[in-house]
Amino acid sequence: MDGFHRSRHDRLCLFALFISLQCAPVLAVTQPAPALDKTTFINQLLDQMTPEEKIGQLRQRFASSAMPEPEVLQSIAAGKTGAMFGMAPRPVIRALQDAAVKQSRLKIPLFFGYDVIHGHRTIFPINLALASSWDMDAIAVSGRIAAKEASADGLDMTFAPMVDISRDPRWGRISEGFGEDTYLVSRIAGVMTKAFQGEAPSAPGSIMACVKHFALYGAVEGGRDYNSTDMSPVRMYQDYLPPYRAAIDAGAGSMMVALTTVNGVPATANDWLLQDLLRKDWGFKGLTLSDHGAVAELIEHGVARDGRQAAKAAIKAGIDMSMSDTFYGQELPGLLLSGEVSRQEIDNAVRQVLVAKYDMGLFADPYRRIGSANDDPIDSHAESRLHRAQAREVARKTLVLLKNSNDTLPLKKQGTIALVGPLAKNPVDILGSWHASGQPSQSVTVYDGLASALHNKATLLYARGANIIEDKTSIDKLADGNVEIDPRPATQMLEQALDVARQADVVVAVLGESRGMTHEAASRTNLSLPGRQSELLAALKATGKPLVLVLMNGRPLSIGKEHDLADAVLETWFSGTEGGNAIADVLLGDYNPSGKLPITFPRSVGQIPTYYNHLNTGRPLTPGASAIYTSQYFDLPHSPLYPFGYGLSYTDFSLSDITLSTQRLSADNTLEASIKVKNTGTRDGETVVQLYIQDVSASISRPVKELKDFQKIMLKAGEERTLHFTVDEHDLKFYNSRLQYAAEPGEFNLQIGLDSQNVKQQRFEWQ
Peptide bond between residue 169 and the one before it cis (omega within 30 degrees of 0): no
Least distance to ligand NOJ from the beta carbon of 182, Å?
21
Least distance to ligand NOJ from the beta carbon of 620, Å?
37
Residue (292 or 396) nearer to ligand NOJ, CB: 292
Contacts of 265 (CB under 8 A, 6+ apart): 272, 273, 303
Using a 10 angstrom Cβ sphere, with 0-12 exposed, 13-18 middle and 19 or more buried, the burial of residue 136 is: middle
Q: How many residues bind ligand NOJ (CB under 6 A)?
A: 7
Least distance to ligand NOJ from the beta carbon of 684, Å?
40
Residue (115 or 149) nearer to ligand NOJ, CB: 115
Task: Kindly state whether residue 159 participates in binding ligand NOJ, applying the rule CB under 6 A.
Answer: yes
Task: List b or e across 251-268, with b for residues whose CB sees 16 or more CB atoms inside 10 angstroms.
Answer: bbbbbbbbbbbbeebbbb
Least Cα distance to 694 among 666, 732, 730 occurs for 732
Instruction: Indicate if 709 belongs to the active site.
Output: no
Residue (210 or 539) nearer to ligand NOJ, CB: 210
The interface mask with ligand NOJ, positions 202-231, x = CB under 6 A, is ----------x-------------------
Least distance to ligand NOJ from the beta carbon of 386, Å?
23
The 3-state secondary structure of 175-241 reads HHCCCCCHHHHHHHHHHHHHHHHCCCCCCCCCCEEEEEEECCHHHCHHHCCCCCECCCHHHHHHHHC
Q: How far apart are CA 192 and CA 144, in angstroms?
A: 8
Residue (292 or 312) nearer to ligand NOJ, CB: 292
369 and 155 in contact (C-beta within 8 Å)?
Answer: yes
Q: How far apart are CA 86 and CA 595, in angstroms?
A: 33
Q: Enumerate residues 453-482 that contact ligand NOJ by CB under 6 A.
A: none
513 and 530 in contact (C-beta within 8 Å)?
Answer: yes
Task: List b or e across 661-691, with b for residues whose CB sees 16 or more CB atoms inside 10 angstroms.
Answer: eeeebeeeeebebebebebebeebbbbbbbb
Task: Kindly state whether residue 115 participates in binding ligand NOJ, applying the rule CB under 6 A.
Answer: yes
The interface mask with ligand NOJ, positions 363-392, x = CB under 6 A, is ------------------------------
Residue (324 or 699) nearer to ligand NOJ, CB: 324
Residue (260 or 572) nearer to ligand NOJ, CB: 260
Least distance to ligand NOJ from the beta carbon of 159, Å?
4
DSSP 456-483: TTSEEEEE--S-S---HHHHHT-TT---
Least distance to ligand NOJ from the beta carbon of 314, Å?
16
Task: Kindly state whether residue 686 participates in binding ligand NOJ, applying the rule CB under 6 A.
Answer: no
The interface mask with ligand NOJ, positions 256-295, x = CB under 6 A, is ---x-------------------------------xx---
Q: How far apart are CA 389 and CA 10, in angstroms?
A: 43
Least distance to ligand NOJ from the beta carbon of 93, Å?
16
Residue (18 or 226) nearer to ligand NOJ, CB: 226
Query: Exactly one of 156, 291, 359, 480 is catalytic; which is it?
Result: 291
Q: Backbone dihedral region of 346: left (phi > 0), alpha (psi from -120 to 50 degrees) or beta? A: alpha
Least distance to ligand NOJ from the beta carbon of 475, Å?
21
Interface residue with ligand NOJ among 480, 520, 562, 755 (CB under 6 A) is 520
* Alpha helices per DSSP H over 433-578: 446-454, 472-476, 490-503, 533-541, 560-565
245: three-class secondary structure by DSSP: helix
Which residue of the chain is nearest ligand NOJ when measured via CB? 159
Q: Enumerate residues 292-311 that contact ligand NOJ by CB under 6 A.
A: 292
Using a 10 angstrom Cβ sphere, with 0-12 exposed, 13-18 middle and 19 or more buried, the burial of residue 279 is: middle
Task: Kindly state whether residue 397 participates in binding ligand NOJ, applying the rule CB under 6 A.
Answer: no
Residue (216 or 504) nearer to ligand NOJ, CB: 216
Strand partners, 665: 766
Sites of contact with ligand NOJ (CB under 6 A): 115, 159, 212, 259, 291-292, 520
Catalytic residues: 291
